[in-house]
Each structure stands twice: as C-alpha cells, then as structure tokens.
Amino acid sequence: MIRRLAVIGVGLIGGSLARALRAANAVEEVIGCGRAPANLARARELGVIDRFTQDPAAAAADADMVFIAVPLGAMRDIFATIAPRLAPEAVVTDGGSVKGSVVADAVSVVGRAPPWLVPGHPIAGTEHSGVEASFAELYRGRRVILTPLSETDNTALERVTQMWECCGAEVTTMSVAHHDEILAATSHLPHMLAFGLVDTLSRMHEHEDIFRYAAGGFRDFTRIASSNPVMWRDICLANREALSAMLARFSVEMTDLAESIRRADAERLLSIFERAKQARDQQVERARSA
Ligand SMILES: NC(=O)c1ccc[n+]([C@@H]2O[C@H](COP(=O)([O-])OP(=O)(O)OC[C@H]3O[C@@H](n4cnc5c(N)ncnc54)[C@H](O)[C@@H]3O)[C@@H](O)[C@H]2O)c1
Ligand SMILES: O=C(O)C(=O)C[C@]1(C(=O)O)C=C[C@@H](O)C=C1
C-alpha cells in the first residue's frame, strides 16, 4: 500500500499509473504535479489525482512513492528540484523510455547513483498524450522493465516491483545498457520508420491522393507517427548511440532490399520475405501461448 504517491507529469503514463493503483485500492492519496494547471485541474476532475501543485519539490515532500513521467529532457531538472526535499523513506521511480540518460541525470544531480532511485519503463503506451488519454488497464498483462543499479536499495526495488504488479504488469529487470539497446531496436527504430515515412509522403507533390487511397496496411504501419513529437525528440537525443547504430544497420538492409528489387532478384526477395514472415509468425505465436 502506498500512502502518498506523487505523480510528476500527469499524462498518459503518469495518469494511467494513478488510475491503475486507485482501481487496485493500492494508494491512499495521489498528488499530481505538472506545468499546465488546466491539465492538472482536469486530472483532479477525472478523479486521477486528489490535489495538485506546480512545484515538484512540494509534490515529492512527504510522499513515500514518487513517479516521474515527464519527457526525458525534463528529467534532470525534476531530480535537481526534488532530491533535497525527499523524505528519508521515499522511493523514486520513473517511466522514461530510455534508462541511460535518466541514470546519468540523477547521478549528475546527486553526485552518485542514488539508492532511492529505481529506474523503470512500462512497455505499454499509445500514440495519444495527456491525462484524457490515460486509462487504468494500460499496464494489465504488459511488461515493465526495471534497471536497478548495484547502488539501488533492495527494499526500494521490491516496493516498485509490487507497485507495478498491483497494476497487473509483469516486472522484469535488466541492465541499463541492455534495455537501451533492445528498445532502440523494438520501439525507437519503428517510430523513426513511421515518422520518416509519413513525413516523406506528406511532402510529395501527390500527397493528397497518396493519403486518400491509403488503407489498412498504411494505417497499421503509421499509427505511431501520431505520437508526441517532443517525447520522441527527447528519446532520440537520449538514446542516440544505440538508435544511430540500429538506423545504420537497417539502412544497409534496406539498400540490399532496394538493390534486389532493382535487379528483379525474385529469389532473394522471396527469401527475405519468407524469413521475416516466419520470424513474425513465431513471435506472435509465442506471445499468444505465453
Ligand atoms: N507514450 C508512450 O507510449 C510511452 C510509453 C512508455 C514510456 N513513456 C515515457 O513516459 C514519459 C511520459 O510520457 P507520456 O506519454 O505520459 O507523455 P504525456 O505528454 O502524456 O505526459 C507528460 C506530462 O508531463 C508534463 N510535463 C512536461 N514537462 C514537464 C516538466 N518540466 N515538469 C513537470 N511536468 C512536465 C506534461 O505537461 C504532461 O502532462 C516520457 O518520458 C516517455 O518517454 C511513454
Ligand atoms: O503502442 C504505442 O503506441 C507505443 O508507441 C508504445 C511504446 C512502443 O511500443 O514503442 C512507445 C514507447 C515506449 O517507451 C513504450 C511503448
């Protein structure tokens, strides 16, 4: 049971955590914090939070659990503001999509890896933003990756694990570097492809006809191009090494595919598509039977 939860950044991710914990009766009081008073007032109206402040230090003071769910570029300032005001038993965790930058931000503020910080990342989301888009079931049956450091307090890790389990999530742990490499491949690269494709097409002369005749395949592939631009700018900057390596590798494969099309190499095209279909079908089957 969490006595007082401070949610810094009451949007899709922070709002959904608060809703899920409330639905599970796992929190007594939720304090919201953000920059936009209208969004915070709406969060209170929706029953996502009990009260709010625009001052992260005031929100975190006297909270036993602090969840930071702001864009990655805002994390460092939040750590700097809350660190001196945390209660001795407070645990801080976050939902940021990249973990190396969050840990570096905390270390740069505190001077060392703080024992009270449990870096985390719910592998769940949508292309929508803000508290209106949040919902209690977002994390049900989804994975949450925690990336504790050797300095992380064990009790803090246990409390954050329990918090996510209360939301119906499956918690796994891995190293910060491994997390950032994996997510560069499975989340960050696909978002670059979707943003890149839609941007390219939208600047073509015939773009109105292109979008008019786009159907299911295009819609499925490009849903995530509606995601929050600020959030994705920050993810690219925060994970630029791993993402650049993935983009370079993907470019080589795309050049090979383009060359096979140019050469009318039917055999090579079929072998690439069969290999991809088999890999995806296997992955869908594994997910279904898990
Ligand atoms: N959207 C997703 O699918 C998804 C999934 C997993 C993790 N994440 C991560 O979760 C975090 C939040 O993403 P989201 O989708 O909830 O975004 P969101 O835009 O829905 O919510 C972010 C909230 O933070 C507030 N905010 C922004 N800067 C702030 C600051 N300096 N101080 C206080 N509040 C501030 C905004 O007003 C907004 O209410 C990001 O770090 C993102 O990388 C997002
Ligand atoms: O489903 C979506 O809309 C998402 O983009 C969610 C998604 C992803 O799967 O890539 C996006 C960013 C995250 O950090 C985690 C999850």
| pTM exceeds 0.90, yes or no | yes
Ligand index nearest the alpha carbon of residue 228: 1
Q: How far is the CA of 273 from the centre of ligand 2 (A)?
A: 25
Q: How confident is the model at residue 205 (pLDDT cuts 50, 70, 90)?
A: confident
pLDDT classification of 257: cutoffs 50, 70, 90:
very high
The residue assigned the tokens 């803090």 is 156
Our answer on whether the CB atom of 123 is closer than 6 Å to any ligand 2 atom is yes
Tens of pLDDT along 80-119? 999 999 999 999 999 999 999 999 999 999 999 999 999 9
Pairing state between β 65-68 and 170-173? unpaired
Residue 95: the pLDDT is 98
Confirm or reject: Cβ of 126 under 6 Å from ligand 2: yes
Cα 238 to averaged position of ligand 1 atoms, centre (Å): 14
Residue 213 — pLDDT band, cuts 50, 70, 90?
Answer: confident
Domain boundaries, the chain: 2-174, 179-289
Complete edge-to-edge strand list for the sheet that includes strand 143-146:
120-122, 143-146, 170-173
CATH 3.40.50.720 fits 179-289, yes or no: no
Task: Look at the chain and count its residues.
Answer: 290
Q: Is the pLDDT of residue 290 over 90?
A: no
Q: Which fold has domain 2-174?
A: Rossmann fold (3.40.50)
Which ligand has the shortest distance to the CA of 129?
1
The residue-averaged pLDDT of 223-243 equals 98
Give distance in angstroms: CA of 146 to centre of ligand 2.
Answer: 16
Q: Which percentage of the chain shows pLDDT scores above 70?
A: 100
Find the ligand nearest to 71 CA.
Answer: 1
The answer, yes or no, to whether any atom of ligand 2 lies below 6 A from the CB of 125, is yes
Residue 123 CA: nearest ligand 1 atom is 6
Lookup: tokens for 138:
């977002």
- Distance of CA 183 from the midpoint of ligand 2 (Å): 10
The pLDDT, as a whole number, for residue 206 is 84
pLDDT at 51 over 90: yes
Q: Which atom belonging to ligand 1 lies closest to the Cα atom of 16?
A: 16
Closest ligand 2 atom to residue 124 Cα is 16
Percent of the chain with pLDDT over 90: 94
Ligand 2 lined by 127 (C-beta under 6 Å)? yes
Distance from C-alpha of 18 to C-alpha of 185, rounded to nearest angstrom:
29
Atom of ligand 2 nearest to the CA of 96: 14
